[in-house]
Amino acid sequence: MGIVTQALSGERRAIARLITVMESGEEQARQVLAELYPHTGRAHIVGITGAPGTGKSTLVNEMAKAYRKQDLKVGIIAVDPTSPFSGGAILGDRIRMRDVATDPGIFIRSMATRGSLGGLARATADAAHVLDAAGYPVILVETVGAGQSEVDIARTAHTTLVVEMPAAGDDIQAIKAGILEIADVLVVNKADLRGADHAVAALQAMLDLNSAHDDGRDGQHHGRLEGIEAVAPGNHSGATNRQVYWRPPVLKTVATKGEGISDVVACVQRHRQYLSESGLQQRREHERAEEGLRRILRYTLLERLLNRIQPSDLDEAVRRIARREQDPYSAANALMAELGLVERQA
């Protein structure tokens, strides 16, 4: 298959076509991935998430420029939502990425969620595999405008940035579960607006609670170890046997003016170093592999089993449940007994 070889050598048309194949979910996707997979695992995948309008696309544009100054090629995958009614989508993230639109060292791909709810599309991770294998050492993945529970990005990215902005909710938002928990780096964008310092303080206060918690659990006391210090030279000698705590740094940016971007990129690169030196990289890779395998198995096995149920049996069970003649668990049990998966219950 020539197209895979072309993509591996960085040919952009081939890369674009392969991402389309990944999105299509056709049988060809599986074959292509099998060929690409041995060439993956080299890129640093950076997730950028946060509520709509916080400036994710603008931040990605500025970060891409900063990486280009280091002469690194950058892949960008920008995800926007699919309409639940028409199945169509408006993918508008390129509007904010015009600075880098014609840079041959940058590859931008817009992606629609196509029904996935976790903030990414089903094929986002596979598209990242394509760019990884094609030799892009940095891949920036921008999620849909995320609310509180779209946390899939943490399973795809090595380093996750959560982007906030001033005056977007009170302090209690910062201690809720969900998206803030997955942050490796917190960014308060639009920091020239009023309330930026307050937003930073609220996030720092949340992190104080986290670190108190973690220290207690590990029986160690690191105090407030900033992410920056966690891997500072001389401080990571025993990093593998002594759990060093990564405290997500909170950074202020004004992405439209390019302010604070170099700090963000520096923090992302320090986080990568921290991951490898602490042994966390391997552990996460293992978790990622397990999660991915389980997801594929769950999906494929479920499809196969569901296909074995007679549609008429299923319809009949649905009717019985709706008429309150049988409860849903007993109905499910009866169908599974039909397939020989469980003992039939009296």
Partner 1 sequence: MVDKKIRVLIAKPGLDGHDRGAKVVARGLRDAGMEVIYTGLRQTPEMIAAAALQEDVDALGLSILSGAHMTLVPRVLRLLQEQGQANVAVFVGGIVPNEDVPALLQAGVKAIYGPGTSLDDIAKGIREEVAQR
Task: Using CB under 8 A, list all residues that contact partner 1.
Answer: 12-13, 16-17, 19-20, 23-26, 82-83, 86-92, 94-95, 98, 101-102, 107-110, 112, 114
Report yes or no: 100 and 64 within 8 Å, Cβ to Cβ.
yes
Q: 99 or 259, CB closer to partner 1? A: 99
For the bound state, the minimum distance from the C-beta of residue 89 to partner 1, rounded and expressed in Å, comes to 5
CB of 106 to partner 1, least distance (A): 9
The answer to whether the CB of 61 falls within 8 A of the CB of 99 is: yes
CA distances from 32 to 3, 27, 29, 248, 256 (A): 9, 9, 5, 37, 39
Residues 6+ apart with CB under 8 A from 198: 166, 167
Sign of the torsion angle spanned by Cα atoms 340, 341, 342, 346: negative
**Tokens 């389309």 correspond to what residue?**
20
84/219 with CB nearer partner 1 = 84
In the complex, least distance from residue 19 CB atom to partner 1, rounded to whole angstroms = 7
Ramachandran area for residue 140 (φ above 0: left; ψ -120 to 50: alpha; else beta): beta
Shortest spacing between CB 127 and partner 1, in angstroms: 11
Q: In terms of CB distance, is 19 or 183 closer to partner 1?
A: 19
Tell me 190's DSSP state: S
Token pair for 202: 């609220």
Using the minimum distance from each CB to partner 1, give the nearer residue, 29 or 332. Answer: 29
CB of 334 to partner 1, least distance (A): 28
Please, what's the largest Cα pairwise distance for the chain?
A: 71
**Which CB atom, from 68 or from 198, has the smaller least distance to partner 1?**
68
Decide whether 126 or 164 has the Cβ nearer to partner 1. Answer: 126
Question: DSSP for 215-261?
Answer: HHHHT----S-BHHHHTSTTS-TTTTTS----BPPEEE-BGGGTBTH
Q: How near is the Cβ of 27 to partner 1 at its closest, in Å?
A: 9
Nearest CB to partner 1, comparing residues 106 and 196: 106
* Sheet with 185-188, edge to edge strand ranges: 106-112, 74-80, 138-142, 44-50, 159-164, 185-188, 250-252
User: Closer CB to partner 1, residue 131 or residue 157?
Assistant: 131
Angle at 103 between CA 99 and CA 109, to 5 degrees: 85
User: Shortest Cβ distance from residue 17 to partner 1 (Å)?
Assistant: 6
What is the smallest separation between the CB atom of 289 and partner 1, expressed in angstroms?
Answer: 22
Q: How far is CA 198 from CA 204, 253, 258, 260, 265, in A?
A: 10, 14, 21, 18, 23
